[in-house]
Structure 1
């Protein structure tokens, strides 16, 4: 677009009231231009929308300016400056623009530029800036400009940081200077102490030792003031101190003069030291005369030269102290001057920086405050003057510029919008009024003025002061005649409401809507629409009256149109009257026809002539009558044939239409649905009655017919299952498998009872069979064992006869020996009883000793507990004494006596605690020894108890031996007699064995035959187990229960006279009776 425009170099003037607004998206494409923009540039909106915003910039405008605009916006700051715009005809214009971001929901969605007329000064600065960018200025001017720009770009933050850094630097320098001075002072003080004070102290001690301890000790000893031992101790102490102090002095650092003088003093010191050693020998020898000589001449000759030299050495040290002081004083003056210089320089620099900061902030803040006050007092188009500084305050001013520009734009747009809304409301045909929150009138359109002008005469009847030109600010609620409507109109509303009321003989409909502030939802007032419904209300009343009469059945009533004004309402009323006249006749005919149908009477065909829809009604009524007649005829036909049992008869549904056809089809389908399942059920029941079980029904049915199908299928399944289970039992019985059963739980009802009865019957049969089979096996085994046993018994009987003869001879010898043992056992028993009594008495004595030792041990433990309590009391008393001492110390002089008492209490508590510990130690030792003694006595008691028990056991054993010996003697006599009886019984057994062998062989043959008879029945493991349980319950049926009869022959009966056969026959009969009657019946009852 820009390349096709020819530049004219003509500047177009812009009015100060013009505000050019341009909006773009994030890519810089134009999305909105206002009317002023179009009028100034000459472009139309279609040419600009969607184009880059650079098309409206003049080609002479440097690209650096556009880059600066874009970079500033990217940093989320507004750009404010002078721009050169391009018109469609090639002219250009200068504007002072403010470009800001557009945000929605906190997100940047575009950019907006608001431009106003720029001043000549701003245009000249823009030209100079453009030239500077194009390098059209001199080098020194450019250098000065860059330096000025650099100075202007120093931010307030940087300036404050410079002041802070300067203050911090000054503080650091002052701190460093102070620390250096303190360090030097500390070094000097340390040197004075170590190199001057300590040596002076050492020299003074040496001088005092010689003058006081050495000289004074000799003088005091001579005068008898001190004893020889005290004098010797003083001299010894002096010698030790002198050697120590002189060595430490020599080891410390000194000046050259001091070291030289100390070297000269060393011989004098040694001489003086030898003099002190001499005094030590005199004191020890207790030579008074030599002491007097020493005190008057020797001691002074040795010590005076040393004392003079030591004084000279001390003077040198004092001179050194003065020198150190002068050095320290000089260092102090030096560091003080440094500190003053640092503080002065820092104050000057901070003052300069503060002045610069104040100069760059305060005037601009005053200008901002003045402009803000002017903006608060009235709306104006002035902006805060923008300085050359580019700092935080400039950002604030730019933000304020952007805010004010945006507010001015929004205000202008709002004013324009309000003006458009007002113009629209003024031209509206419906009356509209606006009221504030107090229902005071603030606006009314032309239609509202016309309405109230028409009602003014009626309003003045109730409100004589009413005047149309005085309504503004008045409350419109007062003009409403109905009190309830007046209160409703005056009430605060939150949503639109409609009020029908009367005012000055006019029927009005008021639609009241609240007006809110869109930003915060604050209620601003309400808007009321006034609709004059007077004519409509009159017509509505007439129509309502007519409808009321028509509802009441009075169709002859008509609307009186003579009272209605000419117009639409009157025409509608006349049309309603004509409509009623046209409707009454066909409605009457239709009513009569429907009345006949409701009574079950099908009327004759209507032959009267009607037109239009009324003729259609007539034809429809005739068709309805014919259709009902055909439907009734087919229904009668089906009912008669069904009553006669002809269920195959069906009605022809094609003769009917619509729902009537559906009725006939439904009747036919109903008959089909009934006949099919009935035939199916009849056929299946017929097959079942003949014993032919049919297959399951697979056809699909619905509802109750489906239930019939399921029931028949269930019946067929149950019968098939019953027949299958019966066949299983029959086949198993034929094969001898009488233990086979069927599952009765798979059957229901009487079928289950049948299966359970068959199972129970088989159980009753299987029980005896299983028992007989098991018994036969047992009998067979027993018979074999009896046969084998009889053969063995015969051989052993022969051996027994010979053995019995030998045994009888031995038994006689044994009888005499046992009698002697019995006598000895009686005497031993008496001795054992005596020993047992003595052991019991000893055990009682030991038990008493154990009880006594336990009592002593318990007493010792109690004493130990008491001592522990005493120890605890002593500890607590000690704590209390400590607390009392602390409190007495806090009380000072007043608590001194209490402190003494507390100390005594504490001492007593400590002694009590010590005594308690000693007693406790003794008691513990006693307890431990008592405990050991108790253990030993207990061990002795246990040992005694064991001895008593052992003695008792020995006595019991001896007593048992005596008793056994007597019993043996008696028993041997009996055995001797029995041996004779055994001889006779053995002879009888031989005869019985022969007879039993013959009977066993006969029994074995019968058992084999019975086993062959019951082998045809096949039993499962359960029945075999059950038979084994029965045998276990009855010992007579067990294989080991059939034993050889224990026959004892009376002594008086001879072998040949004993009846053997009857006894064996009785035993056989008893076993047979047990097997066949008692046990089988018991097992049968169990089953």
Structure 2
């Protein structure tokens, strides 16, 4: 036997009206359980169906109980007894089980079990007796589910084992035998008193037999009649004695089986009726209009929503269905509610799946879904039709299309007519109206800001409270206008700055152009002076060359002095004259060197003013100045020597006598003069080359100055053009009107030092 573990000692107590029903096949496999059975067992329906019924057997049930259970059922008899079952979680529950064979027609297909709540006294007795039976300490036996001690008197009385027919035949045979015995005894000469005594005894025995038989049969028949009355009154819980095997006992067995099955079916019908009542209550309370028709398409039910809907559309329906009345809806044909009743009848008769369709009656439009209703075997029971009045919705749909089309064309002023709309339609219409209103307000404010922007007014903003995407659009639009306003303010400030800077640059360029012209004139004068200086230096070089020749001649004369002392006076006079001329030349050279130095200084100053382009000129000017200084030094030295020579020549007249002694010194001095004159000649050549370079550089500087003057003119023209463009930009920016917000004033304050700085830089550049 299956032993289901684990178990607990907790009892699950059934409700008073719980009715646990199950069916099994002939092998005890569960094929059906009702919801109460599923709830009490703790299993799911899927866990129970297809499993052996001993899945819920409790280990405390004795083996003898189930042996008697199957023995009784296989004998075709009902079984009634106390059963302790195990729940899925190990708890237990007690029931009074009524089990009977289950037939479909004449075929035995399985067993039906109906269980009810057991009383506490019954549970206590069963607990005690089943425990004693498991321990083998009780004389009680289970027979047909009932616990009882063996009836030895009944076991010894053979009459209890006879059927009713056998007992009636036995009584008839006894009466016949008694009559025959009396005839035989009378013919044998038995006395009359003896015969009367025998007749009296036989009569008493016959009366007892008649009483026993009648009380046994009539008592049980009366019980059967009482049970039938119980069945008729809907009572299926009373106990029926099924311990006899005679004809009346079999009647009672049949009644027990009927009681079990009818009890199940009636309870099942009650449950279904309760479910149907709940369904009807739900349909009565439902807002969806529902019509239910039988297999003949006659309407058997219409919920209040359907009646109200059809009553409201009664006038429109009469235009298609003559004589239609919502008050007389029950019993009318479902297919009559159509433009083509016969075709609709054919469709409903062949309906195999939900069939949606739309139908119009006058100004009313309905959506109908017809669904076939079938039983568990697939037999057609009728039709359920769900009706929806789409008139308002379709009108609203058309209005929505109109409103949406207008919105698509930019017209957000349209609104829905919600007259007569309720529920979802009213909510959708109201929501769409709010959406259109919010959209229109948002777009109008945005359009207002953009219109003002198109007219140059940057002051308006979107001020209405908006959420979601509209709020983002508001923030983005306001931010864009703020940034544009800031940009325009920056442009206005920048144009003022650029205008002032351009004016300053133009003024500086004009000044620079004037100075560049002056510089060009100065360079031209410098070039002329340099040409004169070049000629002078070239002449100085020639004079130095001649002086060098004279010095050489003087040397020769000095060398020959000893021989031509007589010619000393004349020679000294010539020397004196030459010395004066040399002094004059040296003065000229010294003046040229001084002028060259002055010109070099001027050239360095002009080179410094010329900037990077005058850097090479400055280098050349520095070299010229260096040469001029060297020439000046040499000239002073020559001048000193010449002065000394002149002194000596003047003294020579007085010292002719010393000519011989001083001739040697003179030769030496003449040599020194020759060397110095050679240096002067070389320096004059170098000075001539340097001045040529300075002249070339001055020429290049003059050309660069002319180019600079042209560039200054171009820069001045560009500055004037920039000034004109800045004025145009300022005029364009002035079209925009701005708030004098703190941010704008701060921007103007920030641009003020920029403008003044730019003006100063322009003037400094000029």
Q: TM-score range by the shorter chain?
A: 0.3 to 0.5
More helix by share: 1
Higher relative contact order, chain-length normalized (CA < 8 Å, sep 6+)? 2
- After TM superposition, the score normalised by the length of structure 1 is 0.30
